[in-house]
Amino acid sequence: MLAEERRLRIAEMLAVQRTVTAAALMEALGVTAATVRRDLAALEQEGVLVRSHGGAVSRTLSTSFQLSYEALLRQNREEKEAIAREADRLILDGDTLFLEGSSTVYLLVQHLLRKNRLTIVTNSPPILAQLQQGGVASVMCTGGELEKDTFYLSGTWTQRALSEIRVDKAILGVSAIDQGYGVWTARQSEAEVKKRITKAATTRIALADHSKFGRQSFAYVGPMNEINTLITDSGTDPKVVSEIRQLGVSVQVADVATKQR
């Protein structure tokens, strides 16, 4: 595991449990105490954590922790690519879509470039830039206030734009899912975007890799049954998948080992 990958994993652990011991990191990462000390020192310089005796404490509240966009694209990359391939099967020529600013949704776009007569609305500048490379019939951007670390457009302008449209399918990213309570995200501004587009879409499709389950985040989006289809990867606990299906949500599980030919 590269140093960058190890440090991303440490940040993720702190986001969930607030504190972590050096011994736990050595076991989870399979590295020596010296390597853990170097990684913690580097993350302390970045402002992610404060080192303590025998471990570290997060400097960010766990429920509002948000990785950078570049880090999100690297995180669980194979799983997200498998989910994107599965989501592509649900998109038909001629569909009108909303593509939310999400790293997994971003990976879906490369598949959509091969489709015909799509109309796409997005609140994501990276997705917008990717779409200009292909032959999508119509592309629109919501506008709004740019959240620079996640390249996500939100705020009053975004909400107003979403209140004035209707789409066949909304493709949504998810920060956290607690099957008993529903869907969560790291920021209230993102939760408002999800709520608005949920009302505007005939079909709501959520993309979430296995790391998103059994968790809550800062801002509540809504109950699970507001999602029509949930696509996850084969690393998700089958018991969790079964519980969500019992709520009336169609769950599709993408096999990470299966590559598109």
Q: What is the pLDDT of residues 149-193, one digit of tens each?
A: 778 999 999 999 999 999 999 999 988 898 888 999 888 999 999
Query: What are the CA-CA distances from residue 244 to residues 156, 240, 249 (Å)?
Result: 32, 6, 6
Question: For residue 139, which phi and psi values (nearest 5 degrees)?
Answer: -130, 130
Q: What's the mean pLDDT in 24-38?
A: 93
Q: Other C-beta atoms within 10 Å of 82: how many?
A: 27
| 3-60, CATH topology level | Arc Repressor Mutant, subunit A (1.10.10)
Predicted confidence band of residue 7 (pLDDT cuts 50, 70, 90): confident
Q: What is the pLDDT of residue 135?
A: 66
pLDDT digits (tens, 9 = 90+) for 185-231: 888 999 999 999 999 999 999 999 998 898 888 889 999 999 999 99
Q: Where are the domains of the chain?
A: 3-60, 76-254
State pTM to two decimals: 0.74
Interatomic CA distance for residues 8 and 5, integer angstroms: 5
Between β-strands 49-52 and 96-99, what pairing exists: parallel, antiparallel or unpaired?
A: unpaired
Identical topology for domains 3-60 and 76-254: no
Query: What are the CA-CA distances from residue 36 to residues 23, 43, 59 (Å)?
Result: 9, 11, 18
Structure tokens at 114: 């091969």
**Closest to 101 in 3D by CA, of 52, 31, 42, 153:** 153
- Which residue type, as a one-letter code, is found at position 175? S
Query: What are the CA-CA distances from residue 8 to residues 14, 34, 75, 80, 135 (Å)?
Result: 10, 18, 8, 16, 36
Instruction: With residue 127 as reference, give the H or E element that holds it.
Output: helix 125-131
User: How many CA atoms does the CB half-sphere of 7 hold within 13 Å?
Assistant: 19
Interatomic CA distance for residues 178 and 214, integer angstroms: 5
* CATH no. for 76-254: 3.40.50.1360
